[in-house]
């Protein structure tokens, strides 16, 4: 007897394997997906009814014959159909299983058929009572145990004599209880899994969409480098580019650029400890505070003090920020900056040397409310480039664990030549990319490249800004004849950058040299350290060199004319320079402004050589 029971149980358990396959397949049907979405059609229900009904029949025919009764898993189909898909499927599958069982006959055919039908209906009712949701693994197993007990109850009730009913129940109840409960447990596990999977996928889709929105907002908060809110004249005094490459979708690095007024541009770069959405949120708060504090007109160290206090007040999650803020006065090139533990920006001088901005005292923000900061001052000359970056740049790591490092960054910056800020960023990113290779980007990367172009040429001249206020921008050369070499270099580089052709380059260099040597001769006697500021600019089809000096008023246009028609005997070496200047320039403008000579030489950029 015991052997038989064990044998039966083993057989039934083997069938559980089939259960797994059926359950898996059912959960992958579109019909079942629509049931979960509560939008199942009649056809969907009919399909599921048939599947569970056939499964019920399979349960019957695969069962083991014992004492004229069959130990079987017929109730499994209607149970799962009802529990997972509602009364329609439960009752339908129960009916199919019951009709088939009835047709088989035997002493238990009536109670067994009725039991299957009722169990299917009851399972459907449980689904309804559970607000049309599957009741879960434990609930399903308990239901199944109760259902099989009810099944046996019906056998007692409807099979006579009682002794025969008792024998049958004693033989089939244990294996049926075991196998059906095991079957329903497997079924329920797979169903519950499927449901969890769907919930997780839905939740993930929601989070993904929120992160995408956050990323879009963060991107949207970045300033547009092509419209900084400056006037035309001030905007012409700089060119700038920036990039932000979060390691994840949302990053803790941020840069910002905004005009404080028509002459001052604020440059900000920062890095929140950590990555991802939390860091991004904190950084947005920090940036908004920097914005607000900057508008008070306070100096950069005070701005950091205010931001630090406010961030500290709101810092429940113990984050911290490193931040660099610089304010450039575009009319003079003067840079004032402060740093809260941020890596010092690099300056590339026009001539090619690269150095870190001298570091200034200041610790990370949001940790200590009483911090104070120091102010650094630097003078940018025309052509100088400022590189602000976050440590994701220098700490970009290759597959071997080596860091990109300060040295590689400095070399990259030194190598940019006359590249625009956009090209500079592209070049540095390219260098980083090639260094890192296949290694995954570990930290956020942000960079701002700012090139000071010098006081804007034409546009600014109408402004009453006195030339001597602060230190002049442009390139200041000592007023000595030796400096004509440097002047020639400046003009040549400028002409090359502007691609104006050899003839124009020659004429511009000639005009510049003649004007410069004139100034040197006139200012030498009057000052111990005379200087000349040189500005080079292009506007449309004209290139200009503007020379400013603080020597005595001297308008070269009024210098004595050279007699260029004189023969060899009558020639005197004088006035030739001005004569050449007048001939190669389209225009020579001179202005005595605030005690300065401002001489602007304009050379026309004609059609390119060879194209005439």
Partner 1 sequence: MTFEIEELEGQVAVARVSGRLDTLTAPDFSAQALAAIDAGHTRLVFDLSQVEYVSSAGLKAFLAAAKHADAQGGAVALCALQEPVERVFRVAGFDAFLDLCTSSDEAARQVEPQD
Contact 216, 413 (CB under 8 A): no
CB-nearer residue toward partner 1: 360 or 509: 509
Rounded distance between C-alpha atoms, residue 254 and residue 365, angstroms: 14
CB-nearer residue toward partner 1: 267 or 495: 495
CB-nearer residue toward partner 1: 208 or 609: 609
Question: Given strand 346-348, what is the order of strands in its sheet?
Answer: 238-245, 445-452, 385-389, 346-348, 354-356
Tokens, residue 305: 């003090």
CB-nearer residue toward partner 1: 259 or 508: 508
Q: How far is the CB of 514 from partner 1 (least distance, A)?
A: 6
CA neighbor of 252 nearest in space, from 282, 291, 224, 223? 282
Q: How far is the CB of 572 from partner 1 (least distance, A)?
A: 9
Q: How far is the CB of 480 from partner 1 (least distance, A)?
A: 10
Burial class (CB in 10 A: 0-12, 13-18, 19+), 63: buried
Q: How far is the CB of 394 from partner 1 (least distance, A)?
A: 42
Question: By three-state DSSP, how is residue 325 classified?
Answer: strand
Q: How far is the CB of 499 from partner 1 (least distance, A)?
A: 17
Question: By three-state DSSP, how is residue 589 classified?
Answer: strand
Neighbours of 488 (CB within 10 A): 15
Q: How far is the CB of 607 from partner 1 (least distance, A)?
A: 15
The β-bridge partners of 561 are none
- Residue 508: half-sphere exposure toward Cβ, Cα within 13 Å: 35
Rounded distance between C-alpha atoms, residue 484 and residue 2, angstroms: 114
Q: How far is the CB of 519 from partner 1 (least distance, A)?
A: 12
CB-nearer residue toward partner 1: 192 or 511: 511
Contact 327, 346 (CB under 8 A): no
CB-nearer residue toward partner 1: 359 or 503: 503
Tokens, residue 367: 């940790």
CB-nearer residue toward partner 1: 110 or 510: 510
Contact 387, 413 (CB under 8 A): yes
Q: How far is the CB of 484 from partner 1 (least distance, A)?
A: 5
CB-nearer residue toward partner 1: 221 or 580: 580
Q: Would the CA dihedral through 580, 584, 589, 593 be positive or negative? A: negative
CB-nearer residue toward partner 1: 198 or 506: 506
Q: How far is the CB of 526 from partner 1 (least distance, A)?
A: 20
Contact 277, 214 (CB under 8 A): yes
Q: How far is the CB of 517 from partner 1 (least distance, A)?
A: 5
Residue 589: C-alpha distances to residues 159, 531, 555, 582 (Å)? 122, 20, 9, 11
Q: How far is the CB of 481 from partner 1 (least distance, A)?
A: 5
Q: Would the CA dihedral through 469, 465, 334, 525 be positive or negative? A: negative
Rounded distance between C-alpha atoms, residue 340 and residue 303, angstroms: 11
Rounded distance between C-alpha atoms, residue 183 and residue 520, angstroms: 103
Rounded distance between C-alpha atoms, residue 375 and residue 369, angstroms: 18
Tokens, residue 308: 């630090």
CB-nearer residue toward partner 1: 136 or 501: 501
The β-bridge partners of 347 are 355, 386
Q: Would the CA dihedral through 140, 145, 148, 153 be positive or negative? A: negative
CB-nearer residue toward partner 1: 375 or 588: 588
CB-nearer residue toward partner 1: 159 or 509: 509
Q: How far is the CB of 532 from partner 1 (least distance, A)?
A: 13
Contact 361, 323 (CB under 8 A): no
Q: How far is the CB of 531 from partner 1 (least distance, A)?
A: 17
Reduced 3-state DSSP string for 54-98: HHHHHHHHCCEEECCEEECCCCHHHHHHHHHHCHHHHHHHHHHHH
* Binding region for partner 1 (CB under 8 A): 481-482, 484-485, 488, 502-503, 506-507, 509-510, 513-514, 517, 562, 564-568, 571, 573, 576-577, 579-580, 583-584
Contact 323, 340 (CB under 8 A): yes
Q: How far is the CB of 537 from partner 1 (least distance, A)?
A: 22
**Cα separation of the two ends of the chain:** 114
CB-nearer residue toward partner 1: 261 or 563: 563
CA neighbor of 304 nearest in space, from 285, 290, 315, 287? 290
CB-nearer residue toward partner 1: 230 or 584: 584
């Amino acid at each position: 007897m015991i052997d038989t029971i064990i044998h039966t149980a083993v057989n039934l358990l083997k069938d559980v394997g089939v259960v797994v396959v059926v359950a898996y397949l059912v959960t992958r049907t579109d019909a079942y997906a629509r049931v979960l979405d509560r939008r199942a059609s009649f056809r969907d229900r009919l399909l599921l009814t048939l599947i569970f009904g056939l499964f019920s029949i399979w349960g019957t025919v695969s069962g083991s014959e014992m004492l004229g009764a069959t130990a079987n898993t017929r109730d499994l189909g209607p149970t799962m159909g009802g529990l997972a898909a509602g009364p329609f499927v439960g009752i339908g599958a129960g009916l199919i299983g019951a009709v088939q069982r009835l047709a088989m006959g035997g002493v238990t055919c009536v109670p067994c058929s009725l039991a299957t039908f009722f169990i299917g209906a009851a399972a459907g009712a449980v689904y309804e009572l559970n607000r049309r949701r599957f009741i879960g693994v434990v609930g399903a197993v308990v239901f199944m145990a109760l259902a099989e007990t009810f099944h046996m109850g019906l056998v007692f009730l409807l099979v006579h004599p009682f002794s025969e009913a008792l024998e049958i129940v004693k033989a089939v109840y244990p294996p049926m209880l075991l196998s059906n409960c095991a079957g329903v447990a497997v079924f329920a596990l797979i169903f519950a899994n499927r449901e969890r999977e769907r919930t997780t996928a839905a939740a993930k889709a929601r989070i993904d969409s929120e992160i995408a929105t956050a990323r879009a907002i963060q991107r949207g908060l970045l300033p547009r480098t092509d419209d900084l809110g400056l006037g035309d004249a001030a905007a012409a005094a700089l060119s700038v580019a920036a990039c932000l490459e979060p390691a994840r979708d949302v990053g803790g690095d941020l840069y910002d650029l905004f005009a404080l007024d028509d002459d001052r541009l604020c440059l900000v770069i920062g890095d929140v400890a950590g990555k991802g959405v939390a860091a991004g949120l904190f950084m947005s708060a920090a940036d908004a505070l920097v914005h607000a504090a900057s508008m008070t007109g306070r100096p950069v160290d005070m701005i950091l003090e205010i931001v630090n206090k406010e961030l500290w007040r709101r810092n429940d999650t113990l984050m911290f920020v490193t931040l660099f803020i610089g304010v450039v006065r575009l009319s003079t090139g003067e840079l004032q900056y402060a740093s809260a533990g941020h890596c010092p920006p690099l300056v590339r001088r026009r001539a090619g040397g690269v150095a870190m901005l001298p570091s200034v005292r200041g610790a990370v923000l949001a940790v200590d409310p009483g911090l104070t900061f120091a102010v650094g001052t630097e003078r940018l000359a025309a052509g100088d480039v400022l590189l602000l970056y976050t440590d994701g740049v220098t700490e970009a790591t290759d597959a071997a664990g080596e860091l990109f490092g300060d040295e590689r960054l400095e070399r990259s910056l030194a190598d940019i030549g006359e590249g625009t800020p956009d090209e500079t960023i592209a070049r540095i990113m390219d260098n980083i990319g090639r260094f890192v290779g296949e290694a995954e980007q570990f930290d956020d990367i942000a960079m701002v490249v700012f090139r000071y172009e010098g006081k804007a040429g034409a546009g600014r001249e109408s402004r009453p800004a006195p030339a001597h206020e602060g230190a002049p921008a442009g390139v200041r050369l000592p007023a000595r004849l030796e400096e004509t070499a440097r002047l020639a270099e400046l003009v040549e580089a400028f002409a090359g950058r502007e691609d104006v052709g050899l003839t124009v380059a020659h004429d511009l260099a000639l005009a510049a040299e003649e004007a410069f040597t004139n100034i040197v001769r006139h200012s030498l006697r009057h000052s111990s350290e005379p200087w000349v500021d040189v500005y080079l600019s292009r506007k449309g089809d004209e290139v200009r060199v503007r020379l400013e000096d603080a020597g005595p008023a001297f308008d070269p246009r009024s210098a004595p004319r050279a007699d260029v028609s004189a023969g060899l005997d009558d020639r005197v070496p004088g006035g030739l320079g001005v004569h050449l200047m007048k001939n190669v320039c389209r225009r020579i403008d001179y202005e005595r402004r605030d005690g300065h000579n401002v001489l602007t030489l304009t050379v026309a950029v004609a059609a390119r050589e060879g194209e005439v």
